[in-house]
A and B are shown apart, each in its own frame.
Chain A
């Protein structure tokens, strides 16, 4: 069969791509499908039921862990986004100055170090502080999450700032706006999509974290992912599938919003 020749075509690439997309979604689809299983086993599907969702909603440990996850993610993402916005304002739209490269390296540092190493470092450091201060609340987890969320929040905010026109703020200054008012009424509204995107990335990253949380948490401070890790190592029931399905749904919502916000570039 004659096919029109396209310079973009490479033999077999479309097939491999399709296999990749299929392979990426098949396990997730199976996971979601079996969360509606009336039976207990993966080997047989015994009809549609919501019993495992009901069970998850009655499980106090799951509820506590979920609320803790959301609480940590919300606080960490807010602090990380504010700190990242300030840092982005300080590191963009300027001639290079002494220490600028150092700042970049420092802000992106959590991305360069394997998570397990940071986790171990925080375990040691926070164990000392716990002994000194006697405090063992959620503060440690929030601090750790804020730190590794900063580079993720920083990325879209910085990207947005770099595409922004400096003359707008100059114009505001020419019209006798104070620096704060120029920021409040000119920079901030223009920067807003970047800040929102940064916040959502930080939120998802915090929500997903397993390794650092596993090492930093004190007794009784399980987040949803560390609770799930513990369960998966013991016995697996479709309740895990139900929890995963709900978790997935939340992630997909946040990613969709992120995608839409980020797409609307002015």
Chain B
């Protein structure tokens, strides 16, 4: 005979079983069409490239070695692949600078929205949300329209005879940077706003009562309190920027590649799927490190306040 505790126990395990059943479709779809295939990428990175793309099932480390090294076709010795290293450096530097610039522009913007009266705040928030959900391709195209040789800036400058020929702005690192700051700015503003919205302005008032300057209030009170938002925004910008594909391929052209374009190249013209796979795993590892740093930081934040 089951006693009362046993019945509750049984009830509980039935509930948990039901909960697993309910979440099964979502988990299966993600396993099949998102997470699972990542393991295949790992396997492919250790195989030999096939002659027309795809792979041959021969184990090889060459994909991984080619991530940073290149083999001399004559004597078979390895040397550092400058092209790849410069793409890695460009990707990391451009993503970091994008993160910093969006933070510098996004922080005051989020602060501005958070300090609006209740009624107008919604409107400002809405104005940030629209670009956030607008197609990234269209927003990149909008930047292209402005900076290309036949674009708005050059067109206006030529019209007023301020320059004799168009200034080459497209296909430069500056163009990629402009595009990335533009498309990722809303990603920075929204999490910043979310933490500023909860800011207790009585603390700011207390700061002023103790004769702090506005700058000191910002540095000693506001920034420490919204730090979770700063970190979340930075992560939200840095991760997609590092893996960016559309923006650099439209604004950077064929020469100023970023990691995303280098990966694509291996599955297209390069026909080196193992190298492409190894590069993908490398990109994922960098992202993981950034995420872990975030989790650890968020964790220590929590324990300090708790």
Contact = CB atoms under 8 A, between A and B. Distances in A.
Interface stretch (B1-9, B34-42, B59-67, B297-305): B34-42
Contacts of A17: 108-109, 111-113
B141 A31 contact: yes
B276 interface: yes
Interface string B256-284: 00011001100100000100110011011
B109 A21 contact: yes
A178 to B, nearest CB: 14
B38 A117 contact: yes
A121 B40 contact: yes
Interface in A124-150: 124-125, 127-128, 143-144, 146-148, 150
Interface residues of B, number: 95
Given A27-B146, A86-B25, A147 B134 contact: no
Nearest to A154: B26
B30 interface: yes
Contacts of A259: 126, 129
A43 B29 contact: no
A84 B37 contact: no
Interface stretch (B72-80, B82-90, B224-232, B239-247): B239-247
Interface in B190-232: 201, 204-205, 208, 214, 217-218
Interface residues of A, number: 91
Contacts of A263: 122
B120 interface: no
Interface string A78-114: 0110111011011100100111000100110110111
Query: Which of A23, A146, A147, A259: most chain B Cβ within 10 A?
Result: A147
Given A99-B20, A110-B34, A16 B105 contact: yes
Interface in B128-180: 128-131, 133-139, 141-146, 150-152, 154-156, 158-159
Interface stretch (A54-62, A161-169, A250-258): A250-258
A11 interface: yes
Given A16-B109, A31-B142, A251-B133, A125 B40 contact: yes
B283 A117 contact: yes
A225 B205 contact: no
Interface string A6-46: 01111111101101110111011011001000000111100
B133 A114 contact: no
Contacts of B27: 87, 103, 106-107
B289 interface: no
Contact of A42 (B109, B113, B151, B259): B151
Interface string A226-266: 00110011001000110010011001101100110001000
Given A24-B131, A125-B36, A233-B250, 6 more contacts: A17-B111, A103-B23, A122-B37, A124-B37, A124-B44, A232-B137
Q: Which 7 A-B pairs have the closest CB atoms?
A: A114-B243, A43-B155, A17-B112, A27-B142, A121-B37, A90-B22, A147-B33
Interface of A: 7-14, 16-17, 19-21, 23-25, 27-28, 30-31, 34, 41-44, 79-80, 82-84, 86-87, 89-91, 94, 97-99, 103, 106-107, 109-110, 112-125, 127-128, 143-144, 146-148, 150, 154, 204, 207-208, 210-211, 215, 225, 228-229, 232-233, 236, 240-241, 244, 247-248, 251-252, 254-255, 258-259, 263
